[in-house]
Amino acid sequence: MSIALGNHILVEFMNCDPHIMNDVARIEKDMVDAAQKAGATVINSTFHHFSPWGVSGVVVIQESHLAIHTWPEYGYAAVDLFTCGEMDAWISFDHLKECFKSHSYSALEMKRGSVNLLTRNDFDMSTMRQKASEWRNPDFFTRNVWFTDKDENQALSLRFTGEVFHDVQSPFQRVRIIESYKYGKMLALDDMVMTTIEDEFHYHEMISHPALFTHSNPKNILVIGGGDGGTVREILKHEAVEKVTMVEIDGEVIEACKQHLPQIAASFDHPKLNLIVDDGIAHIKHAKKESYDIIIVDGSDPVGPAEGLFSVEFYTNCYNCLKDGGILVAQGESPKFNEKAFKELNYTLQSIFGKDNAPVSLFFVPTYPTGMWSFQYGLKNANHPKSVNNHSLIDSFVQDKGLRYYNADIHVGSFANPNFVKSMIS
């Protein structure tokens, strides 16, 4: 019988669950488990999610490697199980078949490196052998799993630990809490980064404080969306505020954040907060006219449940519900990522609030694609935020509350737009 160096099983998994085929975290875990179940020692794993869909990855094991490429649109995975030594890769095969819910499959097994066809080199391997005998299994392996927020042309990837703390399909979206190495735990809705522990303050300070310091007497505030709680946490730092009504459509987001991101979801029990789990679009339609000083729209991107947060009807209703002198702030997307939504939103706000009453504030978020993000304003006979003159008040508030992004200079400076942005919204 001829002796071979390795054993290679080439597997076709067909009619798999397409959602699983597009789930990088799940596939990485299944592949690592498949290796370990068969008795392999895992050295590391590297997995990527591709645009617009598909996963590729490899688990390097002391006994060689397991590799995968998926085509979710065909419910198909091409898997290579390459092993040396005693490991039984068919155990891995059985495990993956179950995990991927594959209804039809085939496998081709072949021996690799037939020794009677090979000539052994006579170079001195004594030091390598010595090194090998010194090698100890460290009992952990490095994982290289990436979460990618993208459109068809651009992406931002964060390497995450591979651990999934929360993964629930709500009636509106997939709600996940995972952990990135650089930015800590993060909330992802469908495949979009919403907020992370390490950079959430950029967004939450900038969505709230500029409006609260521009308005002369902000008492009654409405927040639409904002399910992670970061926006209401910041608003409630202002003592003059008497009441905050927050309307979030997805209770699952609130629960996930309370459980896993308590630093952000820190103010849900505040006595001034009236938390309503309901559709913000319907809420504003039926809300009392001229009742709010400030309305903040902390929505996600214009796909899925947030699509209606970018419509003319919605912002007309917001306008009607603002008191005279009121300010609207809306999550305004990026002029470098979602240009169309950015421009259309500004056009909508200009048409409702007036041409000179829809300023744009730009700020930086490292975990959103391109990093450049915006809040867009609607001023209902309100002062322009650029004209604030209470700088010393702002700076002592910043000091007192320990703010890390917002200050008086940033307040004014964020409304200075680069020329390309000016021409996008002119």
207-226 residues in contact with ligand SPD (CB under 6 A) are 226
Binding characters for ligand SPD, 14-53, by CB under 6 A (x = yes): ----------------------------------------
Strands 104-114 and 142-150: unpaired
Could you confirm whether 298 is annotated as catalytic?
yes
Residue of 30, 228, 234, 293 interacting with ligand SPD (CB under 6 A): 228
Strand pairing class (220-225; 243-248): parallel
Give the separation between CA 416 and CA 414, rounded to whole angstroms: 5
CA distance linking residue 334 with residue 359, whole number of Å:
14
Tokens linked to 83: 């092993």
- What's the closest the beta carbon of residue 203 comes to ligand SPD, in angstroms? 5
Per-residue DSSP letter, 307: G
Interface with ligand SPD by CB under 6 A: which range of 52-60, 88-96, 192-200, 401-409?
Answer: 192-200
Q: Give yes or no for a contact between 162 and 145, defined as CB atoms under 8 angstroms apart.
A: yes
Rounded to whole angstroms, the Cα distance separating 391 from 393 reads: 5
Q: How many residues bind ligand SPD (CB under 6 A)?
A: 13
Give the residue, chosen from 192, 221, 232, 236, that forms a contact with ligand SPD under the rule CB under 6 A: 192
Is 188 among the residues that bind ligand SPD (CB under 6 A)? no
Measured CA to CA, the distance from residue 67 to residue 76 in angstroms comes to: 14
Rank residues 179 and 333 by Cβ distance to ligand SPD and give the closer one.
333
The DSSP result for 103-148, as a single string, is SEEEEEEEEEEEGGG-----S--HHHHHHHHH----S--EEEEEEE
List the catalytic residue out of 191, 199, 298, 301. Answer: 298
Asked if 37 and 92 count as a contact pair (C-beta separation under 8 A), the reply is yes
Interface segment toward ligand SPD; rule CB under 6 A; list 56-64, 117-125, 295-303, 374-382: 295-303
Phi, psi of 40, rounded to the nearest 5 degrees: -80, 155
Q: Is 287 helix (H, G, I), strand (E, B) or coil?
A: coil
Among 203, 213, 342, 375, binds ligand SPD (CB under 6 A): 203
Min CB(318)–ligand SPD separation in Å = 17
How far apart CA 217 and CA 213 sit, in angstroms, is 9
- Minimum distance from residue 365 beta carbon to ligand SPD (Å): 8
Cis peptide before 271 (omega within 30 of 0): no
DSSP for 265-278? S--TT-TTEEEEES
What is the C-alpha to C-alpha distance for residues 160 and 402, in angstroms, rounded to an integer?
28
Site string for ligand SPD, 259-288 (x = CB under 6 A): ------------------------------
Q: Is 368 in the site for ligand SPD (CB under 6 A)?
A: yes
Q: Does residue 300 touch ligand SPD according to CB under 6 A?
A: yes
- Which part of the chain contacts ligand SPD (CB under 6 A), choosing from 17-25, 63-71, 297-305, 385-393? 297-305
Residue 34 or 297: the one with the smaller Cβ distance to ligand SPD is 297
Closer CB to ligand SPD, residue 6 or residue 251? 251
Supply the residues annotated as catalytic. 298
Residues that bind ligand SPD (CB under 6 A): 192, 194-195, 203, 226, 228, 230-231, 298, 300-301, 331, 368
